[in-house]
Amino acid sequence: MTPDPRERDTTVLTRAVSRTPHHVVTGGLAVVFLFPLLWNAWASVSAQPGTAQASGHGLGNYRTLLDYDAGLWRYLGNSTCVSVLTVALTLGVSLLGGYAFARFDFPGKNALFLLTLAVLMVPYATLLIPLYVLLGRLHLQNSLVGLSLVLTLFQLPFATFMMRISFESVPRELEESALVDGCGTAGALRRVLVPAVRPGLVTVGLFAFLAAWNDFIAPLILISDSEKAPLPLAVANLRQQSMGAVDYGATEAGVVVLAVPCLLLFLLLQRHYVRGFMSGALKG
């Protein structure tokens, strides 16, 4: 029996009307969150007194940023190096830690896990001075590697928690089947479990990258050589002109350069990011 076209049109219209408030709210939130970034991008190419772009529209502020001190590419390279090292260390340690907490039983497991999470309750800035002294004894002060280790330390509690719930959401039968087929523990982890917890890994990696890319306090305390400064610290130093004036144009250009990689990475990985957060909610 052929459905009545009028009934079908009425159903479609009803569904569209029922979803209108949802689209209005989400569209409004998108405008609210995107407006500061769009305004900043426009201001970075607009004329501002006392900046390299004093009249008209152009890339004068970006040229100031490009030529500042050691150069924009040097600072981008420092930020990239720190971010990549932080992501790699965070993923490696949290993967093994989350797997151990999710799959093995050992004395003091819950107490150790709570102790790991307790690091989240310690104020971030209070640990930087002791870590600075410790890095000095390890000859890692004023080092991008030392900075990466510190940033990894602050990412590990959340990352380990995230990987634990990701592993716990994977049925044990999958791992047992791999063991029966001849895989060892390491083989089952690499071939079966790691692909199954990929959304959790993406979420952890994205959080670690955003934290390392945008961090300002740790480089301010741990990095004393301007040529080793990551981009956020370089932008903060650039904004100060003579007589205490602030170069808002160059600062806005620096903010745009800092934001673009974060936006692109989030847009590329947003599907895995959402699935990573849902993995714990869907457990059982």
CATH number of domain containing 112: 1.10.3720.10
Residue 102 has pLDDT above 80, yes or no: yes
Pair (97, 201) in one structural domain: yes
Residue 75 has pLDDT above 70, yes or no: yes
Q: What is the pLDDT of residues 230-252, one digit of tens each?
A: 999 888 888 766 566 777 888 88
Q: Can you tell me the distance from the alpha carbon of 234 to that of 76, in angstroms, rounded to the nearest whole number?
A: 10
Pair (122, 211) in one structural domain: yes
Model confidence band, residue 284 (pLDDT cutoffs 50, 70, 90): very low
Lowest-confidence segment of 104-108, 173-177, 199-203, 206-210 by average pLDDT: 173-177
Number of domains in the chain: 2
Tell me, yes or no, whether 49 lies in a domain.
no
What is the predicted pLDDT for the residue at 77? 92
What is the predicted pLDDT for the residue at 281? 43
pTM: 0.83
What are the DSSP calls for 200-256, one per residue? HHHHHHHHHHHHHHH--HHHHHH---GGG--HHHHHHHHTB-GGG-B-HHHHHHHHH
Alpha carbon dihedral 248, 229, 221, 217, in 10-degree steps, equals 50
Q: Can you tell me the distance from the alpha carbon of 232 to that of 76, in angstroms, rounded to the nearest whole number?
A: 9
Task: Specify the higher pLDDT residue, 276 or 144.
Answer: 144
Residue 146 has pLDDT above 80, yes or no: yes
pLDDT, the chain, mean: 82
Residue 88 has pLDDT above 90, yes or no: yes
Tell me, yes or no, whether 52 lies in a domain.
no
What is the predicted pLDDT for the residue at 1? 46
For the chain, give the number of residues. Answer: 284
Q: Which range of residues forms the domain containing residue 144? A: 62-281
Model confidence band, residue 78 (pLDDT cutoffs 50, 70, 90): very high
Pair (259, 149) in one structural domain: yes
Pair (39, 67) in one structural domain: no
What is the predicted pLDDT for the residue at 10? 58
